[in-house]
Structure 1
Amino acid sequence: MRLVATASAQPGDILGQTIYRDNGTILLHNGVPLTKRLIERLGEQGITYVYIEDERTKDIVIEPVISERLRQDATSSMKRLFGSIQAHKLNKNSSVLDEEGKNLTDIIGRIMAEIDSHDESITLLTDIYLTDDYVFQHSLNVTIYSLAIGAELKLNAKELSELGKGAMLHDIGKVFIDPDIVQKPERLTDEEFAIMKTHTTLGYELLRKNYNYSAVVAHCAYQHHERIDGSGYPRGLKGNEIHLFAQIIGAADVFDAVTSNRVYRKAMLPHEGLELLYSSAINQFDIRIIEAFKNSVAVYPNGISVELNDKRQGVVVHQNKHICDRPVIRILKEEEREVEPYTIDLSKLLNVMITKCNLV
């Protein structure tokens, strides 16, 4: 399979991977020939990338980092939890967190197990899923990224569980914000953004009053928008004043936000998102967290077309776990001429680098 921009897909291309809605139902089956209208509809619904079948890359297998069943279970649990809180938001009754608390712990354990059993570095291309509510999909993605970073930083099982809860609930304060603001597809006005920023304090106040959640989990909601140079909110904390877990979630939060398609902004590719984090690391993020991110998250997804510094072109076919920016590549062209495909491993050829990604 080969990964292409939806806008670059051609009528007659065969869809290589099933496209799901976030409730687990199928939007479009793999093996379906794409038509002009289908391509247009996918673009209209925010599907930025698709996998298509290709003779020279037909053996490339795309393995999701978590199963569709787990993705559906996690999303459903968050919807029930957030919905219950919204139903009681007038008095901010924290007791509605109790029922879903054990289920949340179970889901985080399942996510950790599936990440651990995954043979490759994790890849999440959020825009191959059709989601009806960005908040839930975003919270799940941030949880997966945060747990991967935490594992790379050698956190123990208990710490990872707490980190996972903090990540899953980092945006829970948004249930108290006007849905028209939370779900607004365009950029927020300054006034709307000021209201949106209160979700950190609202989430903290909710979680700190519930005995099922530790102070650390509450502070993940409170501090995930703080930055080590003091430029964040709500308190303008600096450096080690910000809990490590909140710093991890903050980096994962930014990465998922910029690599997700929005009406007012085109999604970045994973390597572009990582470059953004690196450019911010001097002032806003601890470089150790960004390095851990780089070592655990695949920035060049399987199936993406790449160009190397020696002008060879090919497709990423496999990830080297913990060396995520140096995958295995099938070379298809040399000096713009097609060649008999062969494979190179960038983890063993340190003088060869990826210089460009192509979604065509």
Structure 2
Amino acid sequence: MRLVSTASIQSGATLGQTIYRDNGTVLLQRGMKLTDRLVKRLENQGITYVYIEDELTKDIVVQPAISERLRQDATTSMKKLFTDVQKSNLLSNSFILDKEEKSLMDIIQRIMDEINNHQESITLLGDIYLTDDYIFQHSLNVTIYALAIGTELKLNAKELSELGKGAILHDIGKIFISQDILQKPDRLLDDEYETMKTHTTLGYELLRKNHSYSSVVAHCAYQHHERLNGTGYPRGLVGESIHLFAQIIGVADVFDAVTSNRVYRKAMLPHEGLELLYSAAVDQFDSRIINAFKNSVAVYPNGMTVELNDNRYGVVLKQNKHLCDRPIVRIIQDEYGIDVTPYTIDLSKELNITITKCNLS
């Protein structure tokens, strides 16, 4: 399978990976021939990249970060919790959070099991789906990234459990924010942005009053927008005043936000998102967390066409776990742009060779 931009798909191309709706139903089935009308439909629905089949890459496997069944179960659980809390009164909130805690713990454990059993570094770019509920998919993605980072940082089982709960619930305060603001298709005005920022305090106040969730989980909701240099919100905390778990979730939150499509902004590719994190690591993020993230998440997903520093072109064949910017690449063109009999190079061994550009056309 080869990863290409939706805008570059030629009529008649064969879809290489099923595209799902967030309720688990199929939008387009793998193996379907893509017509101009279907391509335009994908573009209109905000799907920027898809996998297509071709002869050179037919053996390339893309392993989802989590199974489709787990993604659907997790989304359903979060949707139920957030919706029930939103509709209830303050006296009922605690009961609802208590009741759903076991379900969330089950989801977190299943995510951990699938991450640990993953044969390669995780990537969510291959999990192509259409969603109408960004907040739930975002919270799930942040949880996957945060747990991957926590695992790389050698957190113990109890710590990972707390980190997972904090990640799943980090944006729960947004249930109290007007849908006009949450769903606004343009950038927020200053006053709208100030309202949006209150979701951190609202989430903290909700969680800190519940005995099923520790103060650490509540502080993940409170602090995930804080930055080491004091430029974050809501309190402008500095350095170690920000809990480690909130720092981890903050990194995962930014990465997923910039690599997800929004109405007003095209998604970055994973390596672009990582570059943004590194640029901010100078004073906003802990470099240990960024490095743990880099060692956990594939920044050049399988099936992506790449240009190397010696001008050869290839397609990412598979990942080197814990060396996520040094994948195994199948070379398809030489330095003169001439097609060659494909052969592979391992960038973890060819240290003088680097990826300089991605080509999705």
In the superposition, the TM-score normalised over structure 2's length comes to 0.98
The one-letter code sitting in structure 1 at the alignment partner of 2:80 is R
SS in 2 for 1:7: helix
> Partners of 2:95 and 2:126 in 1: how far apart?
32
> Partners of 1:222 and 1:80 in 2: how far apart?
22
Give the fraction of aligned pairs with identical amino acids, expressed as a percent: 75
CA deviation map 1:250-280 (0-9, x unaligned): 0000000000011111100000000000000
> Partners of 2:71 and 2:207 in 1: how far apart?
24
SS in 1 for 2:307: strand
The one-letter code sitting in structure 1 at the alignment partner of 2:359 is N
The question of 1:332 aligning with 2:358 is answered no
Stretches of structure 2 that go unaligned for 5 or more consecutive residues are none
Question: What residue number does 1:136 align with?
Answer: 136
Question: What residue number does 1:146 align with?
Answer: 146
Matches within 5 A, 1:1-360: 1-89=1-89, 93-125=93-125, 128-334=128-334, 335-360=336-361
Residue 95 of structure 1 deviates from its aligned partner by 2.2
Residue 46 of structure 1 deviates from its aligned partner by 0.8
The one-letter code sitting in structure 2 at the alignment partner of 1:198 is T
SS in 1 for 2:331: strand
SS in 1 for 2:316: strand
**Alpha-carbon contact 1:331-1:341 (below 8 Å) kept:** yes
> Partners of 2:69 and 2:341 in 1: how far apart?
39
The one-letter code sitting in structure 2 at the alignment partner of 1:159 is E
CA deviation map 1:273-328 (0-9, x unaligned): 00000000011000000000000000000000000001110100100000000000
User: RMSD value over aligned CA atoms?
Assistant: 1.0
CA deviation map 1:182-239 (0-9, x unaligned): 1222211111110000000000000000000000000000000000000000000000
CA deviation map 1:110-167 (0-9, x unaligned): 0000000001000011772100110000000000000000000000011001000000
> Partners of 1:20 and 1:332 in 2: how far apart?
31
**Alpha-carbon contact 2:62-2:126 (below 8 Å) kept:** no
**Alpha-carbon contact 1:127-1:261 (below 8 Å) kept:** no
The one-letter code sitting in structure 1 at the alignment partner of 2:180 is D
SS in 2 for 1:75: helix
SS in 1 for 2:167: helix
> Partners of 2:90 and 2:14 in 1: how far apart?
50
Stretches of structure 1 that go unaligned for 5 or more consecutive residues are none
> Partners of 2:137 and 2:65 in 1: how far apart?
14
Pair 57,226 (structure 1): closer, same or farther in 2 beyond 3 Å: same
Pair 125,134 (structure 1): closer, same or farther in 2 beyond 3 Å: same
CA deviation map 1:30-68 (0-9, x unaligned): 000000000000010011111000101000011111000
In the superposition, the TM-score normalised over structure 1's length comes to 0.99
Pair 245,98 (structure 1): closer, same or farther in 2 beyond 3 Å: same
The one-letter code sitting in structure 2 at the alignment partner of 1:351 is N
SS in 2 for 1:237: coil
